[in-house]
Chains A and B, each alone.
Chain A
């Protein structure tokens, strides 16, 4: 058969299928409704999710996480190897990296006379940790002095200082506080208003001081790195391996979720919900196609028997029914894509958002609708192909 003849055969088959569908408009509308809704559901939700994602991307570009937190789950007095921390600091996206551990979430702090007693967090930090968390020394000795602090010397947060009656501008010489009843010399006052606000109300000491004066190993031993936006995830992986190559400390990257990534996951979840909803509707559509076509096959037994008597082979009769389901599927999918895009466009317009449409989506949706329709048409096609030619003679 030449290609012209093949095209003619396909044309006649398509014309036959279209005519059969048009002859039963009620059935046809019922048949395509399920697929249309399924495709519209997928397209609408995916386009809205994509559009929303772009808005999220735009709004969160400047708010991405720029801190990496690596925590040890094993108690350690020794803390982190300074050379390894320094190596981490050498990484290109890392601005600063240092220890910023919470030795204890609540220690008793008061003035030396026992007044203004309260529970405060006790932090073990180093100078790089202060820089990495943007913790500023607002009075007294600079953070670099932490490296030399061995005895009972502490920096206190500015809110704690206020509560204790220590004004930031006052002379800190001979200023002391009781931490767990142990007198500590106040070397400086610190403040943080960049996500580590508890530093402003706590007591900060060096690791040697904590080990020597307070004892224990601390509750929450961690290194914090200040990194360039967008690099937190990659730096976190490198830090875990770099700080603890032999897995002695059981380090874990506990970087707070990046807002953008978090919302990106929400977008992905939304797309998955759209796909699931569309899949479910597609299944309903598939069953509708199967049901409607089976009814149509039953009603057309005489016609199908006639075609069989005329010499149509079983395969050709089956293909005729599949062509009908495919035609219905394509029409339904195109309608569904239009409906889904329309709803998404209206939604985006109402939100004053620019509609984002992945170029592959309409084709993929039409392909999925066509597939669902064809699968739904399989059983009716088989039944139609099984119509004996004697049906024409007997009916």
Chain B
């Protein structure tokens, strides 16, 4: 698949990439190489201008906006570089945002949020306002929000960029462990430590997939 901006600047050149289910892969490369664009295509945040993107055999490219939204709601969890928590809301309220579209009762929602927060080790902070959390805690909440609906795909964009070494490792470990729950994890990162936690590393330079390394 490939994508271009309206003025015909090619951001991603045609590339073939197969990612096995329930594996963790890292997409690495220099700034501006097209890593985030690739992640956004895989996460169905935007459509490729050409080519095909199949998820579990189903064609995603060409889906309607509503279809893409349903796909994201059902199958994709995102962890963004800056967590993107709604700071004025509680930790639980932020995690619950990940349950959009789920036909669940209030109690079921609460249970799922608690489970997700336990998994990232923040159950004790469930009622705390997100704005009062540390950087590492915020990332954990973002991971819990991505995991709460048990997605089949988790996309993490620079999840360790603003964190110290130890906290970063903890986050990478948490994300890599998500594969245990059957999720496929795609890490978009500059962090060389990511290779230690993933099954494969894909390098992108100037919009081209230049090599592939397996750990």
Contacts and interface: CB of A to CB of B under 8 A. Distances in A.
Interface of A: 1, 4-5, 8, 11, 19, 23, 302-303, 306-314, 316, 388-390, 392-395
Contact of B157 (A1, A4, A312, A393): A393
Nearest to B88: A23
Contacts of B39: 393
A291 to B, nearest CB: 22
B69 A1 contact: no
Contacts of B104: 5
A8 B106 contact: yes
B197 interface: no
Contact of A19 (B70, B72, B78, B89): B89
A313 B145 CA distance: 18
B101 A311 contact: yes
Contacts of B69: 308, 311-314, 389
Nearest to A305: B84
Contacts of A314: 65-66, 69
A312 B100 contact: yes
B19 interface: no
Contacts of A307: 97, 100
Contacts of A316: 100
A107 to B, nearest CB: 90
A23 B89 CA distance: 9
B180 to A, nearest CB: 23
Interface of B: 36, 39-40, 43, 45-46, 65-66, 69-74, 76, 78, 80, 82, 84, 86, 88-89, 93, 97-98, 100-101, 103-106, 145, 157
A3 B105 CA distance: 11
A4 B73 contact: no
A19 B46 contact: no
Contacts of A388: 45-46
19 contacts: A19-B88, A19-B89, A19-B93, A306-B84, A307-B100, A309-B72, A310-B73, A310-B78, A310-B145, A311-B69, A311-B74, A313-B65, A314-B69, A316-B100, A388-B45, A392-B45, A393-B45, A393-B78, A393-B157
Given A8-B105, A8-B106, A306 B97 contact: yes
A11 B43 CA distance: 29
A126 B108 CA distance: 94
Contacts of A1: 103
Question: 6 tightest A-B contacts by CB?
Answer: A311-B73, A311-B72, A389-B45, A23-B88, A313-B69, A306-B84
A313 B73 CA distance: 9
Given A309-B72, A311-B70, A393-B157, A4 B40 contact: no
A366 B115 CA distance: 43
Contacts of A308: 69
Contact of B98 (A19, A310, A394): A310
